[in-house]
Structure 1
Amino acid sequence: QANKYKVPRLAFVNKMDRTGADFLRVRQMMIDRLKANPVAIQIPIGAEDKFQGIVDLVKMKSIIWDEDKGVTFKYGEIPADLTDVCNEFREKLVEAAAEASEELMNKYLEGEALTEEEIKAAIRQRTIAGEIQPMLCGSAFKNKGVQAMLDAVIEYMPAPTDIPPVNGLDEDDAPVVRQAADEEKFSALAFKLMTDPFVGQLTFVRVYSGVLSKGDSVYNPVRGKKERIGRIVQMHANNREEVSEIRAGDIAACVGLKEVTTGETLCDPSAIVTLERMIFPESVISQAVEPKTKADQEKMGIALQRLAQEDPSFRVKTDEESGQTIIAGMGELHLEIIVDRMKREFGVEANVGKPQVAYRETIRKTVEDAEGKFVRQSGGKGQYGHVVLKIEPNEPGKGIEFVDAIKGGVVPREYIPAVEKGINEAVTAGVLAGYPVVDVKVTLHFGSYHDVDSNELAFKMAAIFGFKEGCRKAGPVILEPMMAVEVETPEDYAGNVMGDLSSRRGMVQGMEDMIGGGKAIKAEVPLSEMFGYSTTLRSMSQGRATYSMEFKHYSEAPRNVSEAIMAARAK
């Protein structure tokens, strides 16, 4: 994500006072595993229980913290036993700074010393460009190195004015640019919602341009609604500081916004702009949830609604057939955390059902003439709708595409939206097992109508019948979510881990050596085979292996799996 959005970053190696702390090993791991380009601007003095402080390689001074929770510290000379390593990494730091410009490189090659200001400016320039990552260390728990880290954020990270202007769309969908300046019209992005027990809903915003004062009215172009800002608070960990205004580059929380959700834009009503929306992945796992007592039913509804507002990748719905409440998210752990938060934050104890995988359906063949007819006659005025559709596979990820190719008015213009509405309704339940249909292109190319009996409902129903009929003939298949799984394990267990992943229909895509021993195994595994994997992996590796997984894509399920899914849905 940081690479995708070109976010400059620095690295803080924490817990230098813990057993096994090794600053230089972490630096090498960043190079080998993250493909980063770390530039050490500090070297630790001691490690584990002997960690005392750091050497600032820019000033070439040591900083030693007193044992009073890191409140006071003093500068001093570099310890004699660290002189060589500090000189080595100081040279690397100066070399990295010199590469910022031809002028500095010439100065460096001619043997002239770079000043402290030149080094800081050059490191800042290259950090903002994403070429290097300044590397620091300390112990946050004991407040050692924290002050220097905060100074580094100010010295090396970009200010709002250092980043390019933000792009958006105006109300006519024309591109518009907003500079990060107070003089510009106000624009901001709501990036997080949080429920506060004292003030209600807090909407966290990042201001991209202009100034926002309490009492101002803001416009939400996504919802087409205007709202008034009640109060503005800046959050400092658990403390809130009320402020009267926020400016370009500020992050704060607004009180009083009721209609805003994560990822939506807020702007000046007189200069409407929609900033780039956040993309939230589709949920891939769901399970039924019910309160342990009837009394908690209403509380559970409120809790789930609030949690869904805060986390757009979490969804809640009611199953129409069973009446059950279904929660859906990005994995087993995601839903476990949701249930735990319900208990901790809202006092709702809940029973959860077995997780269900979010399968999808699609087609593999093209059907040229899928006919749908809806005719009803019951005395008086009847119903008549008739459509002929071409149904074909769409590119993966393109979703459902509807094309109107009617010529000569065989289906009147006023009924085309009803046909599209019918298609959109039909794709919610496929013909194999009732799962949503994806990646299908539907072209309406022929049909007929009746002067008296045709209406929107008849054409909507005809479209549903035509789509279902076409899908049955178009080689329908079930798609299952595939997860990108990475397992880090000691070498002794690598063979067992790979064998287990293969037995779960996984495709092992590679294995890399880890620094300090061990193997990193990458595989693609169907989500349906990953339930309970953490327990299996723990027992297989005596608790020494760890894994992470994230949704990658949908893939066609093998025939035997599809048959089992259809049989389970038919029960």
Structure 2
Amino acid sequence: MKPYTAEKILNIALMGHSGAGKTSIAEAMLKLSGAAERLGKVDAGNTVCDDSPEEVYRKSSVSAAVAPLEWKGCKINLLDAPGLLDFAGAAAEAARAADSAVIVVSGRDGVAVGTEKAVETAEKRGLAKAFFVNGLCDESARFYRVFEDLKASFGPAVCPVVVPFIENGKANIYINLLEYKAYDYSNGAPVEVDMPDMGDHRLQGLRTAICEAVAETSDELFEKYFSGQDFTPEEVIVGISKGVKSGTIMPVFCGDALLMRGMEQFLDGITWLLPSAADKAGEIGTDVNGDPVELAIKEDAATAAICFKTIADPFVGKVSFLKCISGKVEQDGTLLNMRTGTSEHIGKVVMMRGKKQEAMRVIPAGDIGAVLKLSGVSTGDTLCAPTRKVVLDGIDYPPASLRMAIEPENQGEEDKVAQAVFRLIEEDPTIGFENNTETHEMVISGLG
């Protein structure tokens, strides 16, 4: 993959309730963009993002996966986050590396606890948000009921962009309300067709939802809307674009990932609407004196990067996933680990897509990559240039909800058990471990 500048990089976390179809959407995006040769399926255990034996067995994500793809001149770093609350720590890691969150909602089940948790996590991190209502080819799916549920839960900021036309109980036609065009997926590939008759009542309701969302973006537009004046088409398009990037509008897309329906419009929409890495305008770090330091997303600045995920691969060894905030992480360079105070030699730099590696050599500002065999680096560590020592915000993990005592099967093997647990903690920092001095027991804690 060719290198991209921050203006052309989008870091997007796929979040939402378990079973809503996040991994299936990632697969459809990878297949459509050409990043994957085939469309993997969760039930078949052959997806790019759920590649570990545990995920294949569970048919569910248990860790955050990174899957880059290219679409119309942009690089999209997908971060597929688990929906199960037992693995909320991995969702926090994905949110730390992302600039936007696409929250996947089941077209059958609607807003669930995981949906609300995902919105809460995204808001806490200040991420731009969009919704994708998935699984509309299911006979029990009800898009318009789910859409009203979203508006009731999250307010007028919820804005329809792509909606289905339901005919004889089937969602074969999808309408882009911004382009005002309709696409028929009956034969697989989308074909532009004449706008179907949705009924004046429904169409007016969707237009009202769009205008309400645009009115929330500025005081001027708010006054214009509630004084009874109509928005011009330009005001609507520009208002939605600015509103999404600022977080005041949450666009709604829809489709069916398993049948690849609505995915082209979804990819086009997020590429145009969601903020790039440059739009997020860097971060605020802390220097050695505790004073705030503004970090701009510039490749010619001093380097600052955050390690947001670690895996211990039995064949490759330790793999540290980095998001470069400022400057660039270069292969064979040296960066300072602010937690340990030691210098870290940057070995092989790669782009990971599931288990597959692709040589990268440089992680530019705003981009995501991985470095192999950084033995002294842990998840949450800041790596920076020695010329500008700065600490970035770490990862806000949820507190442990379960504690229990453990003991070795054979007496005298306490050290072996402790070493095994510490290897687990390296990959999943939500796990806690201590020797209780009062009970003389080894106590392990976690989310579930």
Short-chain TM bin: 0.5 to 0.7
Equivalent residue for 1:258?
375
Q: Note the alpha carbon deviations across 1:486-508, whole angstroms, 9 max, x for none.
A: xxxxxxxxxxxxxxxxxxxxxxx
Q: Note the alpha carbon deviations across 1:385-428, whole angstroms, 9 max, x for none.
A: xxxxxxxxxxxxxxxxxxxxxxxxxxxxxxxxxxxxxxxxxxxx
Q: Quote the Cα distance in structure 2 between the aligned partners of 1:313 and 1:239.
A: 26
Q: Quote the Cα distance in structure 1 between the aligned partners of 2:230 and 2:198.
A: 26
Equivalent residue for 1:41?
161
Q: Quote the Cα distance in structure 1 between the aligned partners of 2:156 and 2:214.
A: 16
Equivalent residue for 1:114?
233
How far the C-alpha of 1:290 sits from its partner, in A, is 4.5
Give the SS at the match of 2:421: helix
Equivalent residue for 1:230?
347
Q: Return the match for 1:132 from 249, 253, 257.
A: 249
How many equivalent residue pairs?
A: 326
Q: Quote the Cα distance in structure 2 between the aligned partners of 1:318 and 1:111.
A: 67
Larger radius of gyration: 1
Equivalent residue for 2:300?
183
Equivalent residue for 2:287?
170
Q: Return the match for 1:216 from 308, 329, 333.
A: 333
Output aligned runs, 1:311-460, within 5 Å.
311-319=428-436, 324-330=441-447, 334=448
Q: Quote the Cα distance in structure 1 between the aligned partners of 2:356 and 2:173.
A: 29
Q: Note the alpha carbon deviations across 1:419-470, whole angstroms, 9 max, x for none.
A: xxxxxxxxxxxxxxxxxxxxxxxxxxxxxxxxxxxxxxxxxxxxxxxxxxxx
Q: Note the alpha carbon deviations across 1:121-154, whole angstroms, 9 max, x for none.
A: 3212111222110011111222222232222222
One-letter identity of the residue aligned with 2:233 = L
How far the C-alpha of 1:9 sits from its partner, in A, is 0.3
Equivalent residue for 1:55?
175
| TM-score w.r.t. length of structure 2 | 0.64
Percent of residue pairs identical: 28
- Structure 2 contact 350–357 (Cα < 8 Å) conserved: yes
Equivalent residue for 1:8?
128
Q: Quote the Cα distance in structure 2 between the aligned partners of 1:42 and 1:177.
A: 38
Q: Quote the Cα distance in structure 2 between the aligned partners of 1:112 and 1:39.
A: 15
- Structure 2 contact 165–198 (Cα < 8 Å) conserved: no
Equivalent residue for 1:65?
185
One-letter identity of the residue aligned with 1:38 = V
Q: Quote the Cα distance in structure 2 between the aligned partners of 1:298 and 1:151.
A: 54
| TM-score w.r.t. length of structure 1 | 0.51
Q: Note the alpha carbon deviations across 1:13-64, whole angstroms, 9 max, x for none.
A: 1111224312222222223234462100111122897221410111111122
Distance 1:120 1:230, change over 3 A: farther
- Structure 1 contact 262–312 (Cα < 8 Å) conserved: yes
Distance 1:105 1:176, change over 3 A: closer
Q: Note the alpha carbon deviations across 1:164-207, whole angstroms, 9 max, x for none.
A: 43111222323211111222211111111122233222211211
Q: Quote the Cα distance in structure 1 between the aligned partners of 2:350 and 2:186.
A: 34
- Structure 1 contact 107–114 (Cα < 8 Å) conserved: no
- Structure 1 contact 167–176 (Cα < 8 Å) conserved: yes
Equivalent residue for 1:148?
265
Q: Where does structure 2 lack aligned partners over 5 or more consecutive residues?
A: 1-120
Equivalent residue for 2:51?
none
Q: Quote the Cα distance in structure 2 between the aligned partners of 1:60 and 1:9.
A: 23
Equivalent residue for 2:142?
22
Q: What value does the CA root-mean-square deviation take over the aligned residues? A: 3.2
Q: Quote the Cα distance in structure 2 between the aligned partners of 1:11 and 1:152.
A: 11
Relative contact order (C-alpha < 8 Å, sep 6+): which is higher? 2
Equivalent residue for 2:117?
none
- Structure 1 contact 168–175 (Cα < 8 Å) conserved: yes
One-letter identity of the residue aligned with 1:50 = K
